[in-house]
């Protein structure tokens, strides 16, 4: 069974279409990222999947349940970390987690065990009895991740989990998310390209309510640029064998766009002698900017 199935999802707000015929599937145990600029439709998509918004058209299933027909069953099987803080600021960290665990019907023994485990995971054990209103933004975010995962949800939704955090705290959050991999399916939205590349098994790129690409971070990257200097005879051989990859040529030099440099280079050396070669590696950011222009 797929963890999440989205079929031709549409969401209109008056005359504005926030989501335009979006479809994708998320595998069980996968870390699935929804990447896009502000206003791309990421948060709207998440809100439909966690039953906070109703779609205008289309269908969505989470943990096997229809988000419209079985909303309560969906909620029982998910954990959520929202963009904005939803913690009880007058509660301690432990009280926040305990309150959440009670809502999910966890027994006292189970509650106590899981609370300790999650406080240790996010390194807040020494702050467990401190009021949350005294916490920094990063500490609150870590506590929210602990709360979202406390009841062992089948699917954990993280909406911009590191938004506004400093680089050091952001990397701590990444560490916790990586430690949760395999324990449940994780769906996260982000506009941080490095975050999507580091954490996600697959990424869907959204822009203006539409999906513009979907694949692994590696496969989404643009081609690498390979510049080769050699004799005229060898350059002729290169052009004969790899002509479709060439984007420019000059006296004694050709430039190619190559998707898989590691497999390309051995083939190149079988064909011709190379005097000099340089490689400019592409990044996910290069590909992303082209997608959302």
More confident residue, 158 or 164: 158
Same domain as 247, residue 282: yes
Residue with tokens 């289309």: 58
What is the mean predicted confidence (pLDDT) over 248-264? 90
Confidence of residue 282 (pLDDT cuts 50, 70, 90): confident
How many independent structural domains does the chain possess? 2
- Is residue 46 within 8 Å of 54, Cβ to Cβ? no
Quick check: 15 pLDDT over 90?
Answer: yes
Same domain as 173, residue 54: yes
Same domain as 213, residue 71: yes
Same domain as 188, residue 69: yes
Same domain as 212, residue 119: yes
Same domain as 182, residue 271: no
Cα–Cα distance measured from residue 47 to residue 221, given in angstroms and rounded to the nearest whole number? 28
Confidence of residue 165 (pLDDT cuts 50, 70, 90): confident
What confidence score (pLDDT) does residue 293 get? 79
- CATH number where 132 lies: 3.40.50.300
Domain boundary residue, one of 220, 250, 265? 220
Sign of CA dihedral 260, 265, 266, 271: positive
Domain boundary residue, one of 164, 193, 220? 220
pLDDT 10s digits, 178-193: 888 878 899 999 988 9
Same domain as 188, residue 71: yes
Confidence of residue 290 (pLDDT cuts 50, 70, 90): confident
User: How many C-beta atoms lie closer than 10 Å to residue 30's C-beta?
Assistant: 20
pLDDT 10s digits, 99-142: 999 999 999 999 999 999 999 989 999 999 999 999 999 899 99
What confidence score (pLDDT) does residue 108 get? 95
- Is residue 149 within 8 Å of 161, Cβ to Cβ? no
3-state class (DSSP) for residue 35: strand
What confidence score (pLDDT) does residue 167 get? 87
Confidence of residue 70 (pLDDT cuts 50, 70, 90): very high
Domain that holds residue 264: 224-292
Same domain as 231, residue 213: no
What is the mean predicted confidence (pLDDT) over 61-89? 94
Same domain as 281, residue 142: no
Same domain as 157, residue 211: yes
What confidence score (pLDDT) does residue 223 get? 83
Domain boundary residue, one of 220, 242, 265? 220
Confidence of residue 218 (pLDDT cuts 50, 70, 90): confident
What is the mean predicted confidence (pLDDT) over 215-236? 90
Same domain as 186, residue 84: yes
Same domain as 24, residue 63: yes
- CATH number where 258 lies: 3.30.70
Structure tokens at 222: 């643009």
């Amino acid at each position: 069974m797929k963890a999440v199935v989205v079929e031709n999802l549409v969401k209109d707000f008056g005359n504005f279409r926030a989501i335009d015929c979006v479809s994708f599937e998320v595998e069980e145990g996968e870390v699935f990222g929804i990447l896009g600029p502000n206003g791309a439709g990421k948060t709207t998509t998440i809100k439909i999947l966690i039953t906070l918004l109703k779609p205008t058209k289309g269908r969505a299933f989470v943990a096997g349940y229809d988000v419209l027909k079985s909303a309560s069953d969906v909620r029982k099987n998910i954990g959520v970390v929202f963009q904005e803080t939803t913690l009880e600021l007058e509660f301690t960290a432990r009280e926040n987690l305990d309150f959440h665990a009670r809502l999910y019907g966890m027994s006292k023994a189970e509650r106590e065990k899981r609370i300790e485990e999650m406080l240790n995971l996010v390194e807040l054990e020494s702050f467990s009895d401190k009021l949350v209103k005294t916490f920094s933004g990063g500490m609150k975010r870590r506590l929210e991740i602990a709360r979202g995962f406390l009841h062992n949800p089948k699917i954990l939704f993280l909406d911009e989990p590191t938004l506004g955090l400093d680089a050091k705290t952001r990397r701590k959050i990444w560490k916790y998310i990586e430690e949760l991999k395999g324990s449940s399916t994780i769906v996260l939205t982000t506009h941080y390209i490095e975050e999507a590349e580091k954490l996600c098994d697959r990424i869907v790129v959204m822009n203006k309510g539409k999906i513009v690409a979907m694949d692994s971070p590696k496969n989404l990257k643009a081609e690498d640029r390979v510049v080769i200097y050699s004799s005229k005879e060898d350059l002729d051989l290169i052009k004969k064998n790899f002509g479709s990859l060439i984007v420019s040529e000059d006296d004694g030099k050709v430039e190619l766009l190559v998707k898989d440099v590691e497999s390309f280079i051995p083939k190149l050396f079988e064909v011709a002698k190379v005097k000099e070669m340089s490689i400019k590696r592409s990044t996910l950011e290069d590909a992303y900017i082209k997608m959302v222009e």
